[in-house]
Amino acid sequence: MEKLDKVFEKLHASYFGFIGIAIFLIGAIPAMLVHNGFSLLTTFVSDLAVPGWNDLAIFFSVCWFITGLFMIMFILGFTRYLQEKGASTKGTGIGCILGIVSAIGILMLALFNTRDFDALHDIAQYVFFFPGILYLFSYAYLEYKLSEFPLWQALFNVVVAFFFLLYFILFFINRVEPTLLVEAKVVAEWLFLFANLFWFVETGAFILKK
């Protein structure tokens, strides 16, 4: 932990979030532009990482993987920040573990595309999504208990978690009936992705100001 403390003393935790999101966009935007027939209604995020379906699949996957590493660093730094503000060690520890596991899910999604590693990709989704919902609720509770955070900041976590839950509902409906609400599921995936990315930006900006 001492080595990590030295890292965050030199570079604020928020910058890991900002840089991670920037790297993701650097990989995602060109991949969207070259993807044949790209549409937010029909193209899943994971489709951008399939070689043969996208000319920049490898580039996108590498950027996505690096983003996951930066997210882990942000979570560690955010945990340190919460503890400095008086949050419980146990509570922040739980939130940190959930956040890191969710970020590991990002690393797995970057490594296992839907075409060549379908089963592993499904596992990676669960690793990313379920802990992702839980760490958002964990941070909502921790922030609610701290006077440092206004109520709206704590509730922001719940709003982002809602987009996760919306996708899950559509995900399971689509698993039961593959032809049902397909476009809604695709849109929901993009919504929760951008909501999650915005969480890192907004939370990073909030703690940077403090």
Query: What's the rounded Cα separation, in Å, for the pair 210 and 61?
Result: 34
pLDDT score at 26: 95
pLDDT tens digits along 4-27: 777 887 888 899 999 999 999 999
Q: What is the DSSP string of 61-97?
A: HHHHHHHHHHHHHHHHHHHHHHHHTT--HHHHHHHHH
Which of the four pLDDT bands, split at 50, 70 and 90, describes residue 113?
A: confident
Comparing C-alpha atoms, which of 134, 120, 205 is closest to residue 164?
134
pLDDT score at 1: 61
Query: What is the model's pTM?
Result: 0.89
Among the residue ranges 3-12, 97-106, 108-117, 163-172, the one predicted with the least confidence is: 3-12
Comparing C-alpha atoms, which of 150, 156, 170, 5 is closest to residue 76?
5
Give me the long-range contacts of 178-182 (CB less than 8 A, separation at least 24).
Answer: none
Query: What's the rounded Cα separation, in Å, for the pair 30 and 45?
Result: 13
pLDDT tens digits along 49-108: 888 888 899 999 999 999 999 999 999 999 999 999 988 899 999 999 999 999 999 999
Mean pLDDT of the chain: 89
* 210 has a pLDDT exceeding 70: no
pLDDT score at 170: 83
